[in-house]
């Protein structure tokens, strides 16, 4: 009896050997560098797209050369111009991220002695403009925090989430994953484990603390069920809130009070940092509160604060 012919991969399917290499690389990033789940997912996605394109060219991911990597960058750029790349432009920032992923991946292959050269070493990084985070004025923050009604459990939850994010500068992932044992409502602090496993203690402020207490006492019991666990913030079905649900929540309340819809899920975190710096907070202290490993990441908020102060000066100073 003849043995069955090998089945060729389906169009667009990831070759098993390429997939195995990507997974080993992701495991290394998690074990040695503590990369967060979202970062690992982005690395996998970039490498998988590259691997599929290389297979069409007759190359394995581990065997790509500099010419192929440059060819892929040109391909992505051209596809973006034609708006065929899932409707998303391949921006300079996306290109820089892809090159960073390649350098880490092929550098790892060299260290593991899978190959003797790094084909990504000759890729040139694009110049990146400094993107300033979108933020809100104090008046807009007040409007947004007051938007949820407090007559029902849903409003109590939304008010507590918005107040806590602005008061403590939490990341969305930290907010939705928050557990009750990470809250110290007696002393008004939140214990967080952020990116890279770094732990920090952040003050809540009186208004956020009262909003969270009210939610836990009056609102959360209405949603709580078998799937709730120790999560602080719950959806209608009793499960922990998700990033997507919070994004819809903040957009809904922003539109309700007339705030422009082009907000990021981290809008209140950005406002937290900017408003602290506008009022003279020490940059190092803000870095600690935000959980940034590198001070340069926090320094971007000084540019936002300066820009807003210039606007206020021009608007209100007699010789502005």
Q: Are residues 181 and 291 in the same domain?
A: yes
Domain extent for 82: 16-122
- Could you tell me the CATH number of the domain that includes residue 91? 1.10.150.130
pLDDT tens figures, 173-190: 889 999 999 998 988 888
The pLDDT score that the predictor gives to residue 141 is 85
Q: Is residue 9 part of a domain?
A: no
Q: Is the domain of 145 the same as that of 285?
A: yes
Handedness of CA 307, 312, 315, 316 (dihedral sign): negative
Q: 192 and 280, same structural domain?
A: yes
| Residue 131 within a domain | no
Six-digit token string for 241? 């809130």
d(CA 122, CA 114): 19
Residue pair 160/214 in contact (Cβ under 8 Å)? The answer is yes
Residue 52's φ and ψ, nearest 5 degrees, are -65, -40
Is 159 found in the same domain as 108? no
In order of 5, 7, 12, 36, 107, the CA distances from 2 in angstroms are 9, 15, 29, 48, 43
Q: Which residues are catalytic?
A: 171, 195, 266, 269, 292, 301
User: Is the separation of the CB atoms in 45 and 105 below 8 Å?
Assistant: no
Rounded to the nearest 10 degrees, how much is the dihedral formed by the CA atoms of 121, 122, 126, 132? 10
Task: Judge whether 237 lies within some domain.
Answer: yes
Mean pLDDT over the full length of the chain: 81
Which of 40, 303, 25 minimizes the C-alpha distance to 195? 40
pLDDT tens digits, 224-253: 988 889 999 999 889 999 988 998 888 899
Work out the number of other CB atoms within 10 angstroms of the CB of residue 158: 24
Domain count, the chain: 2
Do residues 171 and 305 share a domain?
Answer: yes
Domain endpoint, select from 89, 122, 155 = 122
Residues 199 and 308 in one domain: yes
Pair of tokens at residue 146: 């007051």
User: Which segment of 56-60, 148-152, 190-194, 243-247 scores lowest on mean pLDDT?
Assistant: 190-194
pTM above 0.85, yes or no: no
Residue 5, domain member (yes or no): no
Place of tokens 């907010």: 175
What are the residues facing 84 on neighbouring strands? Answer: none
Over residues 159-173, the pLDDT tens digits come to 999 999 888 888 888
For the cut 60, the answer to whether the pLDDT of residue 310 exceeds it is no
The answer to whether residues 232 and 300 belong to one domain is yes
Largest CA distance in the chain: 95
- Evaluate if residue 22 carries a pLDDT over 90: yes
Q: Residue 129: pLDDT above 70?
A: no
């Amino acid at each position: 009896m003849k043995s069955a012919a090998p089945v060729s991969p389906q169009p667009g399917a990831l070759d098993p050997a390429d997939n195995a290499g990507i997974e080993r690389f992701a495991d290394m990033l998690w074990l040695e560098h503590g990369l967060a789940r979202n970062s690992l997912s982005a690395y996998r996605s970039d490498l998988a797209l590259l691997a599929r394109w290389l297979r069409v060219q007759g190359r394995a991911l581990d065997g790509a050369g500099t010419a192929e990597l440059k060819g892929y960058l040109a391909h992505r750029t051209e596809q973006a111009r034609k708006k065929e790349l899932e409707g998303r432009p391949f921006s300079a920032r996306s290109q820089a991220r892809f090159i960073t992923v390649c350098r880490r991946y092929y550098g790892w292959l060299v260290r593991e002695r899978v190959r003797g050269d790094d084909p990504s070493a000759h890729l040139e990084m694009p110049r990146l403009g400094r993107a300033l985070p979108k933020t809100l004025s104090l008046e807009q923050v007040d409007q947004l925090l007051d938007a949820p009604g407090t007559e029902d459990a849903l409003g109590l939850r939304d008010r507590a989430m918005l107040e806590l994010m602005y008061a403590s500068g939490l990341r969305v992932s930290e907010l939705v994953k928050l557990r009750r044992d990470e809250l110290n409502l007696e002393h008004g602090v939140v214990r967080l484990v952020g990116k890279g496993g770094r732990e920090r203690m952040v003050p809540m402020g009186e208004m956020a603390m009262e909003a969270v207490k009210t939610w836990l006492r009056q609102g959360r019991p209405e949603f709580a069920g078998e799937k709730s666990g120790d999560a602080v913030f719950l959806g209608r079905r009793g499960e922990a809130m998700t990033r997507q649900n919070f994004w819809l929540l903040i957009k809904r309340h922003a539109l309700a009070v007339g705030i422009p819809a082009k907000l990021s899920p981290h809008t209140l975190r950005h406002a937290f940092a900017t408003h602290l710096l506008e009022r003279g907070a020490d940059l190092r202290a803000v870095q600690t509160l935000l959980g940034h490993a590198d001070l340069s990441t926090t320094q971007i908020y000084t540019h936002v604060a300066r820009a807003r102060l210039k606007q206020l000066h021009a608007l209100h100073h007699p010789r502005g």
